[in-house]
Every structure is written in C-alpha cells, then in structure tokens.
Structure 1
Amino acid sequence: MGVGVGALTAYDLTQRTHSILRNYPVAGHMRYALESIRPELQQYFIERNFDGRPFDRDTRTVVYSRAKGQEIGKAFGSERDLEEPGYNFLVHSNAPVEPSGPEPRVRLGGPECSRPYDISLLNISAMSFGSLSARAVRAMNKGAAMGGFAQDTGEGGLTDYHLEYGADLMWELGTGYFSARTPDGHLDRDEFRRKAQMDEVKAITIKISQGAKPGMGGMLPGAKVNAEIARYRGVPEGEDCLSPSAHKEFSTPIELVEFIAELRRLSGGKPVGFKICFGSRREVLSICKAIIDAGSGPDYILVDGSEGGTGAAPQEFTDHVGMPLREGLITLHNALTGSGLRDTISIGASGKVAQGNDIVRRLIQGADFTMSARAMMMATGCIQAQKCHTGKCPVGVATQSARRQRALDVVDKGERVRRYHEATIAEARRIMGAMGASRPSQLDTTMLRQVLSPIASSSYAEIYEWLSPGQLLDSPPESWAADWAHARADSF
C-alpha cells in the first residue's frame, strides 16, 4: 500500500499535465473522482422535481410511469411557479366534452400524392441505427407496430431492424443519402425506388437540418463504421462516414421542390416532405415562393426546434444556434397560410414533446401532428445519463456495445413504448376535452395563454400576429413585407 502511494506521489509530482496533481499529489485525484460523478449527484440528490434539464424529474416520471402502465397522480398541488413570466397554460372550458371514437389521425398527402398516409398525433422522431442500438430500434419498431404509429428511421438509413416488426416507417434521407447512395455521395435513384416502394415505408422525409446542430453536418469515425453499419449506409467499412452540411441534389428552394416531386414519383406516389430547423423567416418565404412558382410542393414539413437534442453536437450549436420550436411552428404556419398553401401541406412538430399537454400546445402553435425522440428513448429505458455520444449508455439504448445492449429486452421495452404512446395520446385527448374540443381542429390560439408578469397574461391570439389565408399574396402586413419582397425562389 505504502509503495503504491509513494509511486503515485512521485508520478503526480513529476507529470506536467495536471497542475492540481503537482501541487496536491494523491489527494488531488479526489477532485477528478467527484467530478466524474457530478452529473449523477446533480440528478439524483440535488435537482428539484421541476428544474432538471433537458427533461425535469416530473416529466421523466410521467414517461416512465406511463410506459410501465402505472397510474400517475400528484398530491398537494403544483410545485411550479405559475406566475413566472413565460409560463404557458391551457384554457379549460365550463362545457367540457368526453373524448370518444378512435384516435384522430392526420392525412399526409397533398394534391400530387396518390398514396396518402394517415399519421398518429404522436410518433417516434428521427433516430438512426448506429446512434441507437439495434435492440432499441427493434423495441421502438415493435411498439410502433403494436400501437399503430410511425417510426422515423433517422438519417442513418433503412435497416432490417426498422423492418422487423412491420411498423409504419418514415424513411429519412439526409445529406449522405444513406441506404440509397452512389459511391460519390449522390442519390442512387434505382436503389431509392426499390426501397421507397416497400410496404412498410409510408412517407419519405428529406432532412435539411436538425435542431441539435442546424446547418452542420456530421462525421462517424471510421473506427465505429463496422461491417453492419457500412452495409446499411452504403459506405466503405472502417472509413470515416461523412454527412455533409448541405445536400448535393439541390441548392435552391426551387431545386428542393423539384427534388421532392421526383422522390414522390420514384416512391410510387407516397407522401414526401422535409425536416428543418428554421433560422431565417426569409428562407421560409423563399420555399413558399418556390412552391407557388413550381405549382408543386411537399406533402408535409417537420419543424425541428433548436431544443431538440438526440444528435450529439458542439455545445455552441446546441445552446445558441437555430430557432426554438414555438417560433418555428408559428413562423411556418403563418408563412404557409399567408401564401395560400396551408390547406395542402401538413406540419409536424419535433422538440421536447413528452406529455399530453405538449401535444396540445404544439397543435395550437401551428402543428398538425408531433414527433418525439427522447421521450421514446425514456420509454425504452433511457435514464437521461447524457452519455449517448460516448458509446457508454448504461441501459443499452444509445450504444453499439453488445454487453451494454444485453440489458435491453426488446419484447418488454416494445410493450412499454406502446403503452407510453397510448397513454399520452389518451391524456392529450382528455386535455382537449377539458378545453371543450372534441377534435384538434376545434383548438384555437385563444386557448393557450402565456404569463407576461405576475399580474398579467395574454393569449397567443393576442401575443402573436396571425396571417389570414393568402394575405402575403394580396397585401403583406408591414411586419412581413420586407422579408416577402426579398424572398426568392431561386436562392436561399
């Protein structure tokens, strides 16, 4: 023992990397030991029920309880500050209604779509195999198949794990065109046609950007590109796998619209849309002008908020780049409405959707349906350890380690995913009923209010500007006129 301590002391005093250890040999290691378990200490012993990040303990408890089929209740009132500026609350009715009939579904499919898809109000958002373990992908696929909702493949490609239980799929095509790419990184039309026409594939989503790192590509190091990942993505084994920051198949709004039309034709008439985290309102309007000029457009648009976060990203991007989901939804809804396009294009919302009130709030803010990633991970067993990018996920959800994956039972977790979805949809419908709405189309912007100060609140109808159908075409309001005038279909 003494010899070991002596050797460690000698090493600490002579090493040149850590100043603390040179000044405090042996004892300085305590600092690094405590630092290594700081996140766990914070999560389990320090944070309160309502102030954890990115999901607080109350929210995580709701997800876990619903996934397990347990009753949820809270005694003695809310722990939140209901008078804090920025707090949102839903407006109930003195004439509530009881939810009845099957779950409302949303039609994805505009005038050019011959094979529309009716999507659930809540679905599994984009998460790739490679980021998620095979068992996690399979569990989510099983849950989606049993519950009748959709699973987005993520940009990592369409794999056998996404097809195993026959769930409805949204195939995401990112800038790497994985699962349908040519050796030089373009889209392989023949391979895309073959896979897009599979029965399980219900819709195709072009990923322009994601909330965690908008405007940024990605790199999967060659050391992680094993034979299986290489086969599914269509890249060389053992070599760095690049997702460029921009697409090779289009570079302007009008080219995007033309690419959408081509994919719809190749897929046999299935819905095609795109996912984007917005930055500039002018770019949103440029897409609208391109749709108008081409006489063709997407069947849906998925808005990813900057609060999204399953994808590992530099902290500066995660914290400071991109439009939050609320503003993105309102901006897109207004742009499509003012351009006269809203009736033919559905809007999806992705970003921290976990509970029934989240669904209702996003519907009021402009969405038609929602997507959830991290809550679905939690239903599959995720404990918010925030080690997704390290390969050391302790519960086998976000890792390729066979040993760590062993903890995740596909059958059990698949059932949990199904139960979580079913209970959350039921709660969203119950909340809508309490607001006097028997279906989503009866919700309006007067039903969501925001606290402005301890003595004042206003509804979204009063806080935000809402354009009328075709208003941008006829007489753009002053607040939109400059952006509308400068937006161009041939340039972002």
Structure 2
Amino acid sequence: MQETPWALSILSVVEMIFIGLILAAVITVIVLYIVDVNQSTHTIRRNYPVIGRFRYLFEHLGEFFRQYFFAMDREEMPFNRAERSWVYRSAKNVDANIGFGSTRDLSPTGTVLFLNSAFPTLEKDAALPSDVTIGPYCRTPYTTSAVFNISGMSYGALSRPAIQALSAGAAKAGCWLNTGEGGLSPYHLEGGCDIVFQIGTAKYGVRNAEGHLSDDRLRDLAAHEQVRMFEIKLSQGAKPGKGGILPGEKVSAEIAQIRGIAEGHASISPNGHPDIRSVDDLLDMIEHIREITGKPVGFKAVLGDKQWLVDLVGAIKQRGIDRAPDFITLDSCDGGTGAAPQPLMDYVGLPLKESLPWVSDLLTQAGLKGRIRLIASGKLVTPSKVAWALACGADFTVSARGFMFALGCIQAMQCHKNTCPTGVTTHDPKLQRGLVPADKATRVAHYQRNMTYGVGLIAHACGVTEPRKLKRDHVHVVMASGLSAPLSELHPEPVTLIDDEEQPRALTGAQSVKDEVNRERNV
C-alpha cells in the first residue's frame, strides 16, 4: 500500500525532531563536559565530567529512598552519613543547621551527653580558646590557641595538591599541620603554616645513608621557622605494631628523594624504632632531639599495655621534670591510615574513650599534667567528639580523616591504592587534576574554624567561657540500664600526689626557661 503525502510529511517531521533531539543531546553533553573539566569546585565532576553529575542526583534521591534501600544516616562505618554531611557543610561554610529532630539514637550504651547549664555563657562573655605553651624548657617553646589541628598524613600517602591545600588551609585557620612519617616536602611549607615534623620508625627525612638518625638533617629541619615541634611516632591507632606501608606504585622519584629510599619500591617502615627499646631509650631520644633542635619534642602512641607509661613517669621523676616529653599524642585503636593489615586495624589497641581519661589521670597524679601536653587523636571529626576529648583532659585534638573529607574525600576506601577518585590519595595526574589546592584550602580553613565554633557552642551551653574549661562534670554517659551517669564518676578526677612547689613553674620566654633549667642543674 502506497503511503499518502500527508503521512510521509508527518514521518519527515518526526524524523527531523528525532535528529534534532540527538544533536541537542550531543551538544549538551559537549557543553557539560567543557564546563565540568574547567570548573574547580567539584572534584568528582572535574575528574569524571558529565557522568560525575549523576552522583549528586543519586545523593538527592537517596534522601527519599535510603530508608527502603540504603543505610540510614547513622549506620555507615567508619563514618556515617550524618558525620560526613556535617564536615562537608562546614567545609563549604554553608548552613549546617538541621530541622525537625535529631536522627541520633540516644539509647545505646556509651552514648555521650553534655549537661547544659541553666545559665549558659552569654555571647559577650564567650572567649576564644586560650593560648597553651608546649615545651616550656625548650630554647624555642611553641605557643598556640588552636584546639583542633591536622594530624599526620605523609606526602606519598597523600597527593601533592592535597598537601598543598592542607598547608594553605592550616595557615588560614591558624592551626598546625603534621607531616606524617614521610618527611618534609616543599608542599608542606608552601602554605606558610606551622609544622609538626613526625619521625617515624624508618627516620624518613632525617636519616643518613645507613638509615640512622642524622643530627645534620635535624639541624636543617629545625632551621625552618615553620617547623615548630618534633613528634616521634611509636605506634599508630590503625596499625599498632606495624610500620608505614606505601605501595611501590606511589613511590615517585620526588617521594623517594624526600624519604631517602629507592624509587618505585614499596616503602615499608620497621614495626618499631630499632634504637628505642625501653622508656629510657625513649627519654634519651627525646632529650637528644630537643638539644639538637631546641624545639619541643614528644611522641605518638596508641595505648595497649599500660605499664610502660607508668615506668615512663617513674623515669621522668628520677631524671627531672625538664627531661620529660613536651607532649604525648594519644591515638585511638579506631584511627585511620592509608594502608594496614585488617587484623591490626580491627582488633589491636584501646579506644580513646578508655585510654584518654587513664593517661590524663596518670599525668595528673604524677604532677606532670601541666608539663606534658596531651593531644588526642582518633575519629574526632565533629564538635561533640572534640569537646568530649577536651573534657577528658586533652589540651589539643588532631584529625586526619576529617580534613580529608574537607578536601573532598567521599570515603571510597581506596587510600591504599592509586585510584582515589577525588585526587586526595592518588599520584595519578588525571585524578589529581580534580583537586584544586586554592579551592580546597579555603574548605580546610572553613572546617577548622567551624569546628572551633561548634566546640564553643557546646562549651557555652555548658556554662563555661571557652572550650578548654570543659570538665568531666559536664559530661554524662548512657549506661546499660538506659540511664546516664556522670563521666566524673566513671573516671574520677585524681588528686595530685606531689606538692604544688614541685609543679613546673610558669615561665615565659625561651631564655628564662633555659636559665631556670641551668640553675636547677647547678644546684
């Protein structure tokens, strides 16, 4: 049957419309591709143009469908959606308020609750975090007010643009950046922030040709004004008893040069310091590095066996208070890392909720709490957790994964590979391209400032003027009965066992500290 002219005309119109739609779709995809590749705000879109846009659609739809098909806000691990969402919004400096009611279940045992005061601190009486001095007996003590800082993340475990963004962001926020055990790179210094140099078991960045600690390298590092402190890493929360692991594909020529190792070969650190086999060895090492550099020296450890810390306190009392570590960074068994064996990550070490009050009490009983500053580390990514750590006795807190979220991390769990989709932990130039340091530095600064503000909100609600005045009396913990009990009853504040005159004197200025130490030694 022959088609009529009007039918042919309709078919031609439909065909033309179909072709037009295809052309429009192609042009749209090309335009979106160009826009996505050249924008610097969204890492996923920059690395995965056009396709990456579906992530945001799925995230939006997830708000409506997750209760049927996906995990709820508080169910994911290691960080749930509610925690990540708060960090993302804080980093972007957008409204982080929520409506209707909290999705947090308040009934599980161990739930932390802060006790609000009937007479909260008024805005006119609220204060910023106070200054705290670390290393009063050093030639160059370090004074800072920042309660929240960037924990150790090596150049190698993290990408170049990630380190650049962290450095610039830390400088904007006024907090410190820990180098991690991979040595000091130009990118750590680039932003102008305060630096804590971490000395790992392999002595990367401060080792000689034989792999031993080099005094000359220490002096070179100390010459950088930005390098404020040195941290000896004994152990890390995610892998106690295991050294750093950097796969060979991530060991570039530059990273190999900074660390002092061979290019392209896996960087496997010893599981302990060969030259630190006792508390006396540790104190000797601390004193040696402090004497060479003139700057505060402490150590990082996750607590397991407790007796060695008791022995350490005893050794300090014998040597003198000026020989004590200037700080202790206490990590939690649920800390993070770029790569670790699962048995260690899942089963070894004590959580911060148990170890932090114990270590704080030990130092208080020995009269060392004002001398040895306590830094808490391990999943402290929201204001409630930082406020809890301060109430338990921490002077400072640090976070690694929180700042990774601020950089754009989506918890893809690809840190140990070279395939991180957001460019944070990969050395693939194509994936790194999505992480624009200037943009992410601003987010890092926003996150740190909003964290400080959030901790202040809790402190002021509890009736104190600033975060470091939070105490255990301000915290309750839900028990198995379903009722809460004061944290001060679960972990009673200890009584100092030495006289006040034995406490470290409040000294100001590096020279006065040095003179005071010399007088005590001469006596």
Give yes or no for TM over 0.5.
Answer: yes
CA contact (8 A) 2:303 2:350 kept: yes
Q: Is the 8 A contact 2:380 2:398 kept in 1?
A: yes
> Structure 1 residue 226: deviation in Å?
1.9
**Are the equivalent residues in 2 in contact too, given 1:196–1:204 (CA < 8 A)?**
no
Deviation at 1:464, TM superposition (A): 2.1
Distance in 1 of aligned mates of 2:248 and 2:107:
51
Change beyond 3 A, Cα 1:302–1:74:
same
Determine the structure 1 residue equivalent to 2:226.
200
Which residue does the alignment assign to 2:70?
46
Query: Contact (CA 8 Å) 1:98, 1:430: kept in 2 or not?
Result: no
Which string of whole-angstrom CA distances, capped at 9 and with x for unpartnered residues, describes residues 263-318 of structure 1?
11111x21111110011111211111122222111111000101101331111111
Name which of structure 1's ranges 103-112 and 53-62 shifts more when overlaid on structure 2.
Answer: 103-112
Give structure 1 stretches of 5+ with no counterpart. 1-39, 473-492
In the alignment, the residues of structure 1 paired with residue 404 and residue 318 of structure 2 have an alpha-carbon distance, to the nearest angstrom, of 41
Supply the AA of the counterpart residue of 2:187: Y
Written as runs of structure 1 = structure 2, the 5 A alignment for 1:50-449 is: 50-98=74-122, 100-112=126-138, 114-267=140-293, 269-295=294-320, 296-449=323-476
Q: CA deviation at 1:54?
A: 0.6
Q: Distance in 2 between matches of 1:308 and 1:352?
A: 6
Q: Secondary structure at the match of 1:209?
A: coil
> CA 1:442/1:240 → structure 2, altered by over 3 Å: closer, same or farther?
closer
Give distance in 2, aligned partners of 1:61 and 1:53. 14
What displacement does 1:237 show? 2.3
Separation in structure 1 between the aligned mates of residue 244 and residue 295 of structure 2, nearest angstrom: 28
Q: Is the 8 A contact 2:122 2:460 kept in 1?
A: yes
TM superposition shift of 1:225: 2.3
Aligned partners of 2:152 and 2:198 also within 8 Å: yes
String of CA shifts for 1:31-84, please: whole Å, max 9, x gaps: xxxxxxxxx999975110111111111111111011111011121111222122
Number of the residue aligned with 1:476: none
1:36 aligns with none
Q: Residues 175-214 of structure 1, C-alpha deviation per residue, up to 9 Å, x if partnerless?
A: 1111110122211110111112211101111100000001
The residue type equivalent to 1:397 in the other structure is V
Structure 2 distance, partners of 1:259, 1:69, is 43
Shift of 1:455: 4.2
| CA–CA separation in structure 2 for the residues paired with 1:56 and 1:330 | 25
Tell me by how many angstroms 1:104 deviates: 2.7
Distance 1:166 1:302 in 2: 23
Instruction: State the distance in 1 between where 2:182 and 2:329 align.
Output: 18
Moved more, 376-385 or 452-461: 452-461
Q: Aligned pair in 2 of structure 1 residues 435, 143: CA closer, same or farther (>3 Å)? A: same
Question: By how many angstroms is 1:113 displaced?
Answer: 5.1
Larger radius of gyration: 2
Query: Which piece of structure 1 moves more, 74-83 or 393-402?
Result: 74-83
**Higher alpha-carbon deviation: 295-304 or 41-50:** 41-50
For residues 498 and 102 of structure 2, the distance between their equivalents in structure 1, rounded to whole angstroms, comes to: 42
Deviation for aligned residue 1:117: 2.8
Compared CA separation, residues 71 and 221, structure 1 to 2 (3 A): closer
Indicate the larger mover: 73-82 or 109-118. Answer: 109-118
2:133–2:141 contact (8 Å) kept in structure 1: no
1:192 alignment partner AA? L
**In structure 1, distance between residues paired with 2:183 and 2:469:** 37
Give the partner amino acid of 1:57: R
5+ residue gaps, structure 2: 1-58, 500-523
Aligned 8 A contact 1:206 1:275 in 2: yes
Out of 480, 484, 509, the position equivalent to 1:457 is: 484
Deviates more, 1:175-184 or 1:134-143: 175-184
Secondary structure of residue in 1 paired with 2:370: helix
Deviation sequence 1:437-463 (CA, Å, 0-9, x none): 112443221111111135421011111
Q: How far is 1:103 from its partner?
A: 3.7
Change (3 A) 1:50 1:200: same
One-letter amino acid matched to 1:137? I
* Counterpart contact for 1:105–1:121, Cα < 8 Å: no
- Aligned partner of residue 169 in structure 2, secondary structure: helix
What is the identity, as a one-letter code, of the residue corresponding to 1:97? T
The residue type paired with residue 445 of structure 1 is: R
Out of 319-328 and 43-52, give the one that drifted further.
43-52
Q: Does the 8 A contact of 2:129 with 2:468 survive in 1? A: no
RMSD: 2.1
Q: What is the SS of the residue equivalent to 2:202?
A: coil
* Residue pair 2:129, 2:466 contacting (<8 A) in 1 also: no
Q: Supply the distance in 2 between the matched residues of 1:231 and 1:135 (Cα, whole angstroms).
A: 18
SS in structure 2 at match of 1:348: strand
Amino acid at match of 1:71: D
| 2:479 partner SS | strand
Q: Distance in 1 between matches of 2:460 and 2:139?
A: 32
> Is the CA contact 2:301–2:331 (under 8 Å) kept in the aligned structure 1?
yes
| Residue identity matched to 1:424 | M
Q: Distance in 2 between matches of 1:218 and 1:166?
A: 26
Count residues in correspondence: 433
Distance 1:94 1:463, change over 3 A: same
One-letter amino acid of the counterpart of residue 218, structure 1: G
Q: Deviations over 1:298-341 (max 9, x none)?
A: 11100010110133111111110011112121121111112221
Q: Which amino acid aligns with 1:274?
A: F
User: What is the distance in 2 between the residues matched to 1:240 and 1:81?
Assistant: 44
Greater shift in the superposed pair: 111-120 or 419-428: 111-120
Measure, in 2, the Cα distance between the counterparts of 1:420 and 1:317.
Answer: 30
**Structure 2 length normalisation: TM-score?**
0.79
1:143 aligned counterpart, secondary structure: helix
Tell whether the 8 Å contact from 1:155 to 1:172 is kept in structure 2 after alignment.
yes
Given residue 382 of structure 1, which amino acid in structure 2 is its aligned partner? Answer: C
